[in-house]
Structure formats: C-alpha cells, structure tokens
Amino acid sequence: MERNNASLADYMAVLALRETGSFRAAAQELQLSPSALSRQVSTLERKLNTRLFDRDTRNTSLTTSGAVFAQIAERMVNTAKDAHAEFDAHMSASHGQLTIAGLPSVTAALLPAILRRFTSEHSGIDLKIIDGLSENVIEAVETGRAEIGFTAGTISTRSRLAFQPLLDDAFVAIGAPDGPLHEDRAYAWAELVEMPFIAMAQGTSVRELLDSACLRLNRPLSPWFEVAHLATAGALVAEGLGVTALPELTLAVLPSERLVQRTIKDFGARRRIGLVRQSGRSLSPAASAFLEVLSQVPLKTVT
C-alpha cells in the first residue's frame, strides 16, 4: 500500500477542492481541465486506499479521511512555500552567510567602507571576517573556511585558487617625528637600510618585497628587530627604536598620530593586492553580491 506517494500537486489539488467545493472551479484555479483533476484525485484515492471526497452532480465534499488529509496537505503546502521563500531569499542574497579572509591591512583599510555599503544593501547576510597573514588567507580559502579572500602577491599555478588583481600598494618610510626621518623629504632606499630598521618577519608579503628591494642594492637586510604583527612594528617605531618601510594600506593599523611617513624615491616595487577564490567553483549569491558592491567602490588603479 503506497501511502506516502502524495505529491505537492496532490496536496494542492485537495486544498483547492476543499476551498471551492467544485471540480470545475478547482481545475480553473489549478490551471487544469476538470477531467485531468478528476483523474488526479482518483489516482490519489487509490494510492491511499480511501475516498477523500464524496461527489454528486452538484457538490464535492470532504470525507472524514479527506478532512484529515486536507489538514496534512495544508501543512505540507505551507512548508513548501516557506522553503521556496527561504531559497528565494538565498538567491537574492537577502539571507545567508559569507566568510571573508584578508590581510590585517586590508581588513582594516579597505573592508570597512565596502562592508558598510554591503550591509546596508544586504542586512540579512551573516558576515564573518578572518584576518591573518597571506598563508593563512590562502589556507582559509583553499579549505573552504572562507569563500573569498584578500591577499598580496600572486598565486602559484599549482594552487586551486584564482587571483584577481585589485590595486597596487606603494611602500612608504615610517619613523618617529624626532627620529632619523625628521626631515620632510623623499628618502633613498639605500639611506633607509643604513638606519636602525624594524622589519616584518620572514614569510610575510611585506618582508618578501623588502628583501627583493635589498637584493637590488646587492646587500641583505639586517634589521634590528623582526616582528610578526604590524601593530608591533608601529609601536617600536613610535618609541624611536628604528624606522620601517610598509605599504600604505598598513597605515590604518598604526598609531599615525605618533609617526611620520616619508616617500621612498627608489624602492622599485609595490605590493599587489588581489582577490582569491577557488578556481572552477561557483560563488554563493552572498559572495556574488559582495563582489558586485566591491566593483562599485573606487580603489586605486592597478598599473
């Protein structure tokens, strides 16, 4: 006995008949012919092994079993409507969740303005931000913990990620107001590396570019301090313990009121900031909506 084979169309047919009391009126509501609706109900009654409606030439009324089935049908149809509404909300990016990974300088300097606009247009999206070094951003996107990420440099061709360049981030020299950079002028890179230097740790995107700039001078970088976090570098510089060179986006996480920044006239490199995502994988509606907002926010032009 196939008691569980009623379809959503069957449930809707029973409810239409209950409301109209007429095969003709119910068929019109369901956009069926009366004969097609009659066959559908008869087939359903055979599956259930019970009569759902008493029929005569004028009236159609629910049987006792039909009334019970109609109550079940009402719940099933309402559940289906709720499910469709939930999916529509997902597709319109009015509900759902989105996790974004990014370098601390990006999450502090770029994301706030973008997220303010995004949340005003998509207030139902649950957002999560993962900030960390480049390798942490890559790992988060590769493993699916984050759907999109903002990182620096390029992605290995062996990676499962696609890299979309967004902007180039110029390096500036950072020092204390009364320190080696007290003169308000452009400094040569060779001058800076002769000063007490505070460098980001090996393995960071910033350190890779600092080392490359030193190679062009044919001399290694010999920092007085190596630190893993931008805030630490800023605090040491502010205390007059040395100078550093950092991309402009990082200034958002530094104590700017206690620092001065100077142009580096021959650094010769910029940090390229880009968006990473898994190659060949479709983005969720929430991520697609975020990228649409991102495309509308002015960024420095990639050269």
| Distance, CA of 297 to CA of 291 (rounded, Å) | 10
| Whether pLDDT at 298 is above 90 | no
| Whether pLDDT at 279 is above 80 | yes
pLDDT of residue 218: 87
pLDDT of residue 2: 47
Angle between helices 8-20 and 64-91 (to 10 degrees): 120
Give the tens place of pLDDT for each residue, 102-150: 988 888 888 888 999 988 888 888 899 998 888 889 999 988 899 999 9
pLDDT of residue 162: 87
pLDDT of residue 236: 94
Work out the pLDDT band at 302, boundaries 50, 70, 90. Answer: very low
Give the tens place of pLDDT for each residue, 29-67: 999 998 899 899 999 999 998 999 988 767 788 999 889
| Distance, CA of 85 to CA of 99 (rounded, Å) | 23
| Whether pLDDT at 156 is above 60 | no
| Whether pLDDT at 155 is above 70 | no
Position with higher pLDDT, 16 vs 93: 16
| Distance, CA of 160 to CA of 167 (rounded, Å) | 22
In whole angstroms, how large is the CA radius of gyration of the chain? 32
Q: Check if the beta carbon of residue 80 is closer than 8 Å to that of residue 8.
A: yes
pLDDT of residue 198: 95
pLDDT of residue 89: 60
Work out the pLDDT band at 262, boundaries 50, 70, 90. Answer: very high
Residue 109 neighbours by CB distance under 10 Å: 20
Length of the chain: 303
| Distance, CA of 263 to CA of 49 (rounded, Å) | 86
Lowest mean pLDDT among 84-98, 156-170, 176-190, 254-268: 84-98
SS3 assignment for the chain? CCCCCCCHHHHHHHHHHHHHCCHHHHHHHHCCCHHHHHHHHHHHHHHHCCCCEEECCCCEEECHHHHHHHHHHHHHHHHHHHHHHHHHHHHCCCCEEEEEEECHHHHHHCHHHHHHHHHHHCCCEEEEEEECCHHHHHHHHHHCCCCEEEEECCCCCCCCEEEEEEEEEEEEEEECCCCCCCCCCCECHHHHHHCCEEEECCCCHHHHHHHHHHHHCCCCCCCCEEECCHHHHHHHHHCCCCEEEEEHHHHHHCCHHHCEEEEECCCCCEEEEEEEEECCCCCCHHHHHHHHHHHHCCCCCCC
Q: Check if the beta carbon of residue 52 is closer than 8 Å to that of residue 66.
A: yes
pLDDT of residue 303: 37
Average of per-residue pLDDT across 161-180: 91
Q: Mean pLDDT for the chain?
A: 86
Fold type of domain 97-303: D-Maltodextrin-Binding Protein; domain 2 (3.40.190)
Give the tens place of pLDDT for each residue, 204-260: 888 888 998 898 888 888 899 999 888 899 999 999 999 999 999 888 888 778 899
Q: Which two tokens stand for residue 25?
A: 């009126």
Predicted model pTM: 0.64
Domain boundaries, the chain: 8-91, 97-303
pLDDT of residue 36: 92
Fold type of domain 8-91: Arc Repressor Mutant, subunit A (1.10.10)
pLDDT of residue 113: 87
